[in-house]
Chain A
């Protein structure tokens, strides 16, 4: 089943409550996805600084800090089993360092403004552990998971990073992910899990790195990805939404002068300010919707 949510603020005044608005959306979507939860939150970028969201798993934070500072000059911020590493080191170099020396940790996302956190557990526990309520930012997307295609692990949780400042959450299931994974592996895309959404994320990032834009990429996915899906893709400036043409997987959008919110079900948005006066509609099948891009 799975639940997906997203919120994009048009009014900057709401930015300090972004975390608490998203947190209630995720908790509410616990009914659609009780296994694990995750979210990506976008904050104002700092020039020349990159943030790497890393899940250190069972590693001791002090040990990790000691090891990583031998390789990079970075500011570390611990949040539950995740660490956000802020540094001026560019992704290409950083990814190589992590690959060569830190096989025991998982990079969940990176970019100038994105921070990603995901964990196994009920959404209400996960948002509490990561103190989502305290987060501010410009926009965010999130996911609550009911595992169907692969195991309940942090690896199998969403959002999936699709590149610098980009990520994907997915409600649905893909049926041609094994074929597509094989093809993408040949193109040099790496996969860490058996999960179908990771393949969609790999597909999107591969297309984007081939200089296609996000809208084109999502349109192409209508012919290349076989299965049921509602996708939300987060980018530095906003997010985009796409439902497959059969449109079995739900989505509802609420738009006011202050924000645009999307969720699998309206009840996840019932707490948002002025939602009863919002323009509420369902994204049409096979149409790419985007805000802030």
Chain B
């Protein structure tokens, strides 16, 4: 079903997707003319496929659960923020705080993501085919952040147990973030991520892994930060 945001109210479109028609059980949607609107496809909680043709604004696919959402364009701040499950695929670039606080699901960004990508994530997997900006993975607690390009300043600042895999260069590491050994299990996991995101031009072995030194969140009286 095609939903035209030039003709329909945004609330109307989101309402349709949040309350699927039980009689027709239609689960394939295309949204046209998004024109940078905010909160498109926020709060979807059923299995369905939505393709958005064009650039969107803030918090697209926020709180997503089970749905597969593809954005054929760029996304504004906070794409897939607080996602619980499902898949969000951005074919363009993402603005700041992509996948913020996401608990689960898969976020794939074909282009670059700007600052604070994966901030405070709590279990999602984020795969960025381009580069990420400063403070990415800030205070992230669980899950994986895979970056095929470079990372900006203060990567993984104050992070907990998220694994960060970077192929390119890291401008600087944040407090308590260190490079860690790539074990077999990490390589295997990364191979799966690369396969999921259909990335063929990067080998899992060529990535570096970063994680928490665990000196900051395990409180020690003699911590000197």
Contact = CB atoms under 8 A, between A and B. Distances in A.
Contacts of A89: none
A9 to B, nearest CB: 21
A262 to B, nearest CB: 14
A269 interface: yes
Given A280-B74, A285-B134, A270 B35 contact: yes
A31 to B, nearest CB: 9
B93 interface: yes
A131 B113 CA distance: 39
Given A250-B77, A265-B76, A270 B55 contact: yes
A250 B36 CA distance: 14
A95 B76 CA distance: 44
A276 interface: yes
Interface size class of B (residues with CB under 8 A): 20 to 34
Interface string A238-274: 0000000001001010000000000001111111000
B37 A247 contact: no
B92 A280 contact: yes
B21 to A, nearest CB: 29
Given A247-B115, A276-B54, A280-B55, A269 B36 contact: yes
A282 interface: yes
A284 B150 CA distance: 14
15 contacts: A247-B133, A250-B77, A250-B95, A250-B96, A266-B36, A266-B55, A266-B57, A266-B74, A266-B76, A270-B36, A280-B93, A282-B114, A284-B133, A285-B115, A285-B134
A291 interface: no
Contacts of B37: 267
A191 interface: no
A267 B36 contact: yes
A281 interface: yes
A267 B36 CA distance: 4
B92 A282 contact: no
Interface string B144-164: 000000000000000000000
A11 B95 CA distance: 29
Nearest to A278: B55
Interface string B26-46: 000000000111100000000
A100 to B, nearest CB: 49
Interface in A53-108: none
Contact of B93 (A265, A269, A270, A281): A281
B57 A265 contact: yes
Contact of A265 (B36, B73, B114): B36
Contacts of A247: 96, 114-115, 133-134
B125 to A, nearest CB: 24
Contacts of A276: 54-55, 73
